[in-house]
Amino acid sequence: MPMLPTGLQRHPQSGTYYLHRRIPTDVLVCYPGKKEITFSLRTKDYRTAVERHRAEEARLTSEWEEKRQRQAERYARTQLAAITHIDALTPEVIDAICLHAESASLAGDEARRENGHYTLDEVEEYQAGYTEANRILKGAVAIGDYELLRGPLEQFLRLYRYQLKAIEPEMRRLALAYGRMAIRTNEKLLSRYDGKEVPTPVMAQRLETPMLSEVTQSYLAYYQKLDKVAMLRKVTAVMPLLVDIIGDKPIGLLKQTDLEAYFEAVQTLPPRWKDICRQEKLRPLELAKQQRGEMSKGTFDGTYLAVMTPFIKYCRRKWQDHGWPMTLTTEGVQYLGSRRDPEGGQRAFESAELKRLFEGPEMARFARRPAMAHKYWLPHLGLFTGARVNELCQLNPQVDITQDTQTGTWYMDITDESEGDARIDKSVKTGGSKRKLPIHPKLIELGFLDYVAAAKKRGDTLLFQAFPTAAGRASPKAMKWFTEFLQEIGLRDETPNARIVGMHAFRSTFLHRAMVLGVVSAETITGHASNITSIETIQNGQVNQEASAVVKKYRGELPVDKKLEILSRITFPEVDFIRADKP
């Protein structure tokens, strides 16, 4: 019988071969209560046993390597990140720091021994060195020699990235505890040098820092409770981008240079960078490195910088005890690109453009064909309300378009609280955007209430049911259609900061016409503000001094009949509007 390979054993009675291996010390924690692995190879044939033994050895080696990797990742989070900010050295924190130091020292000795890096001469040197060190340490602890103990303590704190903001008495207590720990650890090392088994302790408390992805998810969950819908959309876009560019690392490892690198990368992302990344299957950081464009100053300041500043303030408050570096800041961050002047603003339609849009053959066709009524009414409502496109598209004609019971005024209820279509999530930009929007007399004259009545009769739950929903919203397809329609009829204008490219131009047109006609407080119609509650003030052409938030709350929203008086004064007499056929 040939000599058996290491780890292959043959049962003396049955003759069955077994695999027997000692579990490596560094993965023992993964096998509670075990020190060895033994199992049958289910054969009595030597050649078969050798083949199976070789396969099982390979499997075990792979399994242990995987467990080592997982432990290394956990160890990196705890040992490398440690904790970057401690305000007070409580007894629990002092114990945890000392346990960390003891565990790290014994783990390093264990790893060196397992790798065979010790010699007998070195062991003798270490025995003498640790014996002398303990003699000195015991004397220092006995008399409270803080200066002698402070040196090795500060070396450990620097090595493992501890940043303490503690008062002198607390530091003295920590130094004494560290000295007693060092004596205890040295005695354990001396026992190991005598050949005794001394296990490396498992840290009872891991002073680890959470990953950046966990912190950003926490911020998203927090922001969802703030009722800031428009800003939430920006936060939802920025947080994943932050993790993508910086990398998902423990927050204790974050540095100011990480933030600087993030802001520099963001500024080099071209317009519609999300579409490019999706189409070309690129990560945002990869696209940024290609230098294929740059972000405008307005987008950078209004979205990316605007999100990061409150995020860092939140992390300082919420995560400082978990290792968030308190030195991180957005102060001084500036836009470095060339697109500094505003470019994206949409201007008001000029009279000739309004006539082309509303008197053209295309609008006449929409007016005559009930199947195209949604294309007729969308721009008309945009012009005579100044409302946001999603506010209009998500209206449920069953509940959101009704008459005021006291005055008989017809109005549209702009809210996210009423019942909506099952395919969408209703939303408003801000809490102040919720409002009752009266229906302009011109819309009624053109037949809008007939359109609404027909939609109610059909059971429609969207005002423009013919525009498909997308991504949980009612407006994307409607917006896309109108953008393409402007191009089709020759009204699209790409002049920077004076563009005509979509429905938002109607908000500019509505407010511009109100200004030209001297109609004050048109913002109460568009949802920008609702602080005017006196029709006499409006009729006199004067605006009250800005009221406080408390006063606004007590005043409440301007009644719809008073809003209708404002709205009725905003007209477009130069346009000969085409009346829609009755459904």
pLDDT in tens, 100-129: 888 888 887 877 777 666 778 778 877 888
363 has pLDDT over 90: yes
Domains of the chain (ranges, CATH numbers): 8-76 (no CATH), 91-193 (no CATH), 212-322 (no CATH), 351-568 (1.10.443)
Residue 238 Cα distances to 257, 274, 279, 302, angstroms: 18, 12, 20, 12
pLDDT top residue among 126 and 80 = 126
Q: What's the pLDDT band for 540 if we cut at 50, 70, 90?
A: very low
Q: Cα–Cα distance between 225 and 232 in angstroms, integer?
A: 10
Residue 38 in 3-state DSSP?
Answer: strand
51 has pLDDT over 70: yes
Residue 545 Cα distances to 425, 521, 552, angstroms: 37, 13, 12
What pLDDT score was predicted for residue 486?
A: 95
pLDDT in tens, 129-140: 888 888 999 999
Binning the chain into helix, strand and coil, the percentages to the nearest 5 are 55, 5, 40
pLDDT in tens, 171-226: 999 999 999 999 999 999 999 988 898 888 765 333 457 888 889 999 999 998 88
Amino acid at 385: T
Q: What's the pLDDT band for 30 if we cut at 50, 70, 90?
A: confident
Q: What's the pLDDT band for 575 if we cut at 50, 70, 90?
A: very high
498 has pLDDT over 50: yes
Q: Report the percentage of the chain scoring pLDDT > 90.
A: 40
Q: How many residues does the chain have?
A: 583
Q: Of the ranges 59-73, 252-266, 342-356, 414-428, which one carries the lowest mean pLDDT score?
A: 59-73
531 has pLDDT over 60: no
Residue 401 Cα distances to 392, 415, 418, angstroms: 11, 11, 11
Mean pLDDT of 231-242: 90
Q: What's the pLDDT band for 77 if we cut at 50, 70, 90?
A: very low
pLDDT in tens, 324-361: 888 899 888 888 877 665 545 789 999 999 999 999 99
Two structure tokens written together for 512 = 């511009």
What pLDDT score was predicted for residue 124?
A: 82
What pLDDT score was predicted for residue 579?
A: 96
Q: What's the pLDDT band for 528 if we cut at 50, 70, 90?
A: low
What pLDDT score was predicted for residue 122?
A: 75
397 has pLDDT over 80: yes
pLDDT top residue among 53 and 229 = 53
Choose among 471, 476, 463: nearest CA to 437. Answer: 463
389 has pLDDT over 50: yes
Mean pLDDT of 377-396: 95
Choose among 326, 250, 258, 321: nearest CA to 75. Answer: 250
72 has pLDDT over 60: no
